[in-house]
Amino acid sequence: DAKTTQPNSMESNEEEPVHLPCNHSTISGTDYIHWYRQLPSQGPEYVIHGLTSNVNNRMASLAIAEDRKSSTLILHRATLRDAAVYYCILRPLVGSSNTGKLIFGQGTTLQVKP
C-alpha cells in the first residue's frame, strides 16, 4: 500500500492561510489523493480529493505537484474550528485488484491560535 509522509504538528494563527504538506513519492498512476480531518471526539470527515489537477471546494483547496509526488492542502482562512488532525491518504481506484480502502497514517495535528 502506498504511503504518505506528513509533519506531526503545525501551528497557525486564526484568519491566516494554512498550507498542510504531504509527500507521497511512491504514488501510482491510479492513486487518488484524499484528505480527511478529524475533530476532537468525532469521526474523520472528508475534506477533498484529487488525481492530477488542483481542486477547490467550499472547505479547502488541494494543490498537486506536477509529478504527483507531493500535495498541499490549503485552508484559506483558518478558524478555531479548523483545529483537528488532518490525514493525507492515497486511495487506489476501485477495480478488480483494488478495494479502494483508506489506510490512515498518523496525520498532522493542526493547532489554530486566536
Partner 1 sequence: EAGVAQSPRYKIIEKRQSVAFWCNPISGHATLYWYQQILGQGPKLLIQFQNNGVVDDSQLPKDRFSAERLKGVDSTLKIQPAKLEDSAVYLCASSLRNYGYTFGSGTRLTVV
Region of 100 on the Ramachandran plot (φ > 0 left; ψ -120 to 50 alpha; else beta): left
Name the residue nearer to partner 1 (CB basis): 80 or 93: 93
The footprint of partner 1 (CB under 8 A) covers 32, 34, 36, 41-46, 49, 85, 87, 93-94, 99-107
User: Dmax over Cα atoms in the chain, in whole Å?
Assistant: 48
Name the residue nearer to partner 1 (CB basis): 34 or 68: 34
| Cα separation, 50 vs 64, whole angstroms | 8
| Cα separation, 34 vs 113, whole angstroms | 26
Name the residue nearer to partner 1 (CB basis): 37 or 68: 37
CA nearest 35: which of 96, 100, 89? 89
CB of 51 to partner 1, least distance (A): 10
CB of 7 to partner 1, least distance (A): 14
CB of 33 to partner 1, least distance (A): 12
